[in-house]
Amino acid sequence: MLIRTAKKSDIAIINKLDRESIKYHKKFDKDFHTVSENFWKIKKRSHKKAINNPTNLILVAELNGEVVGYIWGYIKKIMKYKIGKIQELVVTSKQRKKGIGTKLINNMLRFFKGKKCIISEIDVFVGNLPTVEVYEKAGFIKRYHMMQIKLDKQKRFKPFS
């Protein structure tokens, strides 16, 4: 397996992996928002910007010449401190539980360390236990709980619609 920096030519497959991950997340969160085509356009633009931004890194995992996963991280600055934020980690369903996610995480953490980040953070849906376990295996610990309450029972949250 090859872990490498993403190129603009990888954005279409990254988008395909993202679309697959929406189905995966709906298993854990019945309220997981559906996204519009406008969302995908915005996301593609975000990936293009990230590829050209030195504080961002998108890595892809290639197996036999096929991209089977990716991770996107960026560095945010809070006061004088740098924090490495993992924005997304996606591995295609056929290749999960084979260590690909762990390799992507470890490579991203090396990037953050090289950029002098003091910590790394990730937001994971509480019901997504397989992914929580992957991050815990990499050394992440649970620190906070983000809580929500649905105020309008009739409407679903649909950003970018």
Q: Could you tell me the pLDDT band of residue 144, with boundaries at 50, 70 and 90?
A: confident
pLDDT at 39: 78
| Res. 158: pLDDT tops 90 | no
pLDDT at 72: 98
Q: How far apart are CA 83 and CA 116, in angstroms?
A: 9
What are the structure tokens assigned to 88, written together? Answer: 């997304």
pLDDT at 99: 93
Amino acid at 12: A
What are the structure tokens assigned to 16, written together? Answer: 């395909």
Tell me the pLDDT tens digit for each residue of 78-126.
999 999 999 999 999 899 989 999 999 999 999 999 999 999 999 988 8
Q: How many residues does this entry show for the chain?
A: 161
Q: Rounded to the nearest 10 degrees, what angle do helices 100-114 and 129-137 cross at? A: 50
The residues spanned by each domain of the chain are 2-137
| Res. 29: pLDDT tops 90 | no
Q: What Rg value do the Cα atoms of the chain yield, rounded?
A: 16
What are the structure tokens assigned to 50, written together? Answer: 């990230």
Per-residue pLDDT, averaged over 41-65, amounts to 93
pLDDT at 128: 87
CB atoms within 10 A of CB 135: 20
Q: 2-137 belongs to which CATH class?
A: alpha beta
pTM of the model: 0.87
Paired strand residues for 82: 77
